[in-house]
Structure 1
Amino acid sequence: MTQIPPDNHLNTSFSSFMQADPSSPITPKLQLQLSIPIATRDPEYYISDGNTVLLVENTLFKVHRSTLTKDKSTFDSMFSLDLDLRSHTSSHDASIGPEGESDDNPIRLQGDTSDEFRALLWALYSLPHELMVALTPKANSLQLFHLARITHKYQFRSVETWALNALTTCYTRPIPAPSFDEADGPTLSQITELAALCEQRELLDAAIMRWKRLLGEDKDVALALNVSERLNLRGLLGLSYRSMLLKGKDYWESDPHLSRSQRVRLLSGHYALGRLWERLPNEPPVLTHSTRCTGGSTVRCNQAWGALWKLILDMGKQVLPLQYADVLGKVMLAESVIRALVEKEIPTQGTLDGMPWCKENALTVTSSKVREIQDSLADYFSDVA
């Protein structure tokens, strides 16, 4: 019988025996064998009339090959290959029978967890009304997460699509939607990685929205940075670096979750954004003029717009405690002030008199500038000179 891979913990009865009689002639080989946990049959998916035994972690599953080959999964080609190999089985292998036909010689699945494989079997064996629960507020988000991961790995295409859609419904449902922080569910990092791996855009957007809320609350900044860098989520990466930038150099140096390369990129970003900020007050976004703004009016309009832009951006230097390199914060401030002026929420004090027909356009181009800087933030945090 092929031995099951050892666990890190000694069998309790063996440990007790050794303490009672330390002089007992136990060989190292026997000690290792006694410390190996015994594989146990899954209470639900060790099916009596199944024809294939699989070992996942330390759990034995007995199921039907025909069920695992549904959806043209990887198991279909795996079992076909197995049939070809059986014709070349040695006499030694024959003594314990073909792989997968007994508990003594199960098919071993590497890299999977028993929870993942159990979730797969749940989807393949459940009745329709049992599956429908996954589309309700009573859905088991962790089970759906395991299902999506393992169906992606083994190419159960239609089941994977269904699982991802159910998981997306679970996390985008208005009320009551589960929190990414629930102890019995997948973490936000796990959901983000799964959505990126499976290219599930809607689920990824929901996860990124949650990361942005955390950054706004100044929480899990290093974690967001590392996840977005690993998965190349450019929009989230830029915002994560900005949030870390605002914490200051002393904080970067002490945060154990940041690598040396990331600290270099933060210094680079501080320098690059600082240079951008020096230029920006004198470089107003190009204003699109109203059809009523022609001739000399266009010149006066451009002059008034340039003066207004510089005035508002200088507020970021002189009036409000915004950090020097927080260019995004400053243009967001500019957008808020211009909106308040256009919508007459604050006195204009003549600042809009020179652009009577183009003030709404000024707000439009400012909003575009905010998006442009936000979308390109990650580019400023580079370790390339």
Structure 2
Amino acid sequence: MMAGTPIVEDETPPTRDTTYYISDGNTVLQVENTLFRVHRSMLVKDKSTFDSMFSLDAYTQNTEDVVALSNFIAEGESDENPIRLHGDKADEFRALAWALYSLPAEIAVSMTIQANDLQLIHLARIAHKYQFRSTEMWALSALTQFHSNSPASGGGSPPVQNLVQITELSILCEYEPLRNAAVAKWNRLLGEGRAVAVAIGVAERLNLRKLLGLAYYSMMLKGREVWDSDPQLNARQRVRLLSGHYNLIKLCEDLPNTPPRLTHDSSCIRKGKCKNAFGALWKLVLTTKEGGLVGQVMKLQSADLLAKVMLAESVVRAYVEGNIPQLDLSSVEGAGEVQMHEKCLPIALAASQDKVKEVQEHLVEWFSDVV
């Protein structure tokens, strides 16, 4: 090529959509590099943004606006002068056309486990943008049902990228049921040690604090070699992991001596001794010791605070329900009289359950930017 010769970009002409370029349609739209020909009457359903776009009431009757209106109406009459929808994707508009033109039997499939969740994601996003309100709510409801019923792992698992998109969509549309379904699926993935770095990124970007805490916690348990080698983690996130590891080790060291606060039944007249007995049970479960029921704590990582409080809760539950032999609490330092009041036992279990919830809720707070 000679110097100074202008470079001419080869622009590929748009192509007609194979399904939704309808021969008797009266409006042509271009989305990305795809042409759609649909009926204008379909686009103005549900009092959408298109209704305002096509309405004469949107314009005042001065000369300039009449000219603008005539130019706008001319758009969409041919392939050469389509209405261009900027910022949208062809797959999104195709999903909208599917929703507008599908038969009831086709729509019904979307409320089952056989649904195409990516199609529903595209539909909900474009319906939200153009204010197809009832279509948006229907798509969000269908997505919630699909992701509430489908498994998070195995052959039925949707791609992680789809899960990222429904999480973003739930925030964009402020639709709490879908957000809860998405977070539940993230939690199951994290429990399997999958997509942890992706979950950290999504939770930070969308400010999902409980999910963020669990994601950092799951990554922390993988060990520093994994943190340092994972290309999806940045330097600040690695600092937060180090900080969390340090903080949680300290909490785990103090945990045997800090049982949950125990309230008492009104019939309990020896509250101090009852409290000591519960504290002895809590300490016995969480003290490192070879063998026996409580030896399970030795199998846990030193910073695995959540697993330790869950272990303690499960042993307290078994103790309260009489499913394990009476433990010898007398050997625990400071136990004193080791018999809890009978009616305080379910209160102790509830306190243990609250401790698990507290740790889950506040995990993110231990992963600060400063070690």
Q: CA deviation at 1:350?
A: 3.9
- Counterparts of residues 352-367 of structure 1 (less than 5 Å): 353-357=338-342, 358-367=344-353
Between the aligned partners of 2:243 and 2:193, the Cα distance in structure 1 is 22
Between the aligned partners of 1:45 and 1:332, the Cα distance in structure 2 is 54
Deviations 1:258-305 (A, max 9, x none): 0111111112212222333343332221112123311xx212101111
Q: 1:142 to 1:51 in 2, by over 3 A?
A: same
Between the aligned partners of 2:53 and 2:204, the Cα distance in structure 1 is 35
Q: 1:264 to 1:190 in 2, by over 3 A?
A: same
Query: Does the 8 Å CA contact 1:316/1:330 hold for their aligned counterparts?
Result: no
Q: 1:47 to 1:99 in 2, by over 3 A?
A: same
State the partner residue of 1:162: 138
State the partner residue of 1:248: 223
CA RMSD of aligned residues (A): 3.2
Deviations 1:189-240 (A, max 9, x none): 1222222322332222222222222211111111111111112122211111
Query: Does the 8 Å CA contact 1:180/1:186 hold for their aligned counterparts?
Result: no
State the partner residue of 2:104: 128
Aligned residue among 221, 224, 231 for 2:199:
224
| SS in structure 2 of the partner of residue 100 of structure 1 | coil
State the partner residue of 1:208: 183
Between the aligned partners of 2:14 and 2:348, the Cα distance in structure 1 is 70
Between the aligned partners of 1:125 and 1:105, the Cα distance in structure 2 is 24
The percent identity for this pair of structures is 56
State the partner residue of 1:283: 258
Aligned length: 353
State the partner residue of 2:66: 87
Query: Does the 8 Å CA contact 2:118/2:162 hold for their aligned counterparts?
Result: no
Deviations 1:341-362 (A, max 9, x none): 2233332234394203122221
State the partner residue of 1:152: 128
Aligned residue among 75, 98, 115 for 1:139:
115
Aligned residue among 46, 50, 75 for 1:75:
50
| SS in structure 2 of the partner of residue 187 of structure 1 | helix
User: Which one-letter code corresponds to 2:182 in the other structure?
Assistant: A
Query: Does the 8 Å CA contact 2:15/2:33 hold for their aligned counterparts?
Result: yes
User: Which one-letter code corresponds to 2:83 in the other structure?
Assistant: I
State the partner residue of 1:310: 283
Query: Does the 8 Å CA contact 1:55/1:106 hold for their aligned counterparts?
Result: yes
Q: CA deviation at 1:382?
A: 1.7
TM-score normalised to the size of structure 1? 0.81
Deviations 1:34-73 (A, max 9, x none): x221211123322333332110011111223332122121
State the partner residue of 2:324: 346
Query: Does the 8 Å CA contact 1:322/1:329 hold for their aligned counterparts?
Result: yes
User: Which one-letter code corresponds to 1:199 in the other structure?
Assistant: E
- Counterparts of residues 34-73 of structure 1 (less than 5 Å): 35-73=10-48
Q: Runs of 5+ in structure 1 lacking a partner?
A: 1-21
Between the aligned partners of 1:250 and 1:344, the Cα distance in structure 2 is 43
Q: 1:115 to 1:166 in 2, by over 3 A?
A: same
| SS in structure 1 of the partner of residue 188 of structure 2 | helix
User: Which one-letter code corresponds to 1:126 in the other structure?
Assistant: S
Q: Runs of 5+ in structure 2 lacking a partner?
A: 330-336
Between the aligned partners of 1:83 and 1:114, the Cα distance in structure 2 is 29
Aligned residue among 324, 334, 352 for 2:312:
334
Aligned residue among 164, 173, 176 for 1:198:
173
TM-score normalised to the size of structure 2? 0.84
Between the aligned partners of 1:69 and 1:331, the Cα distance in structure 2 is 56
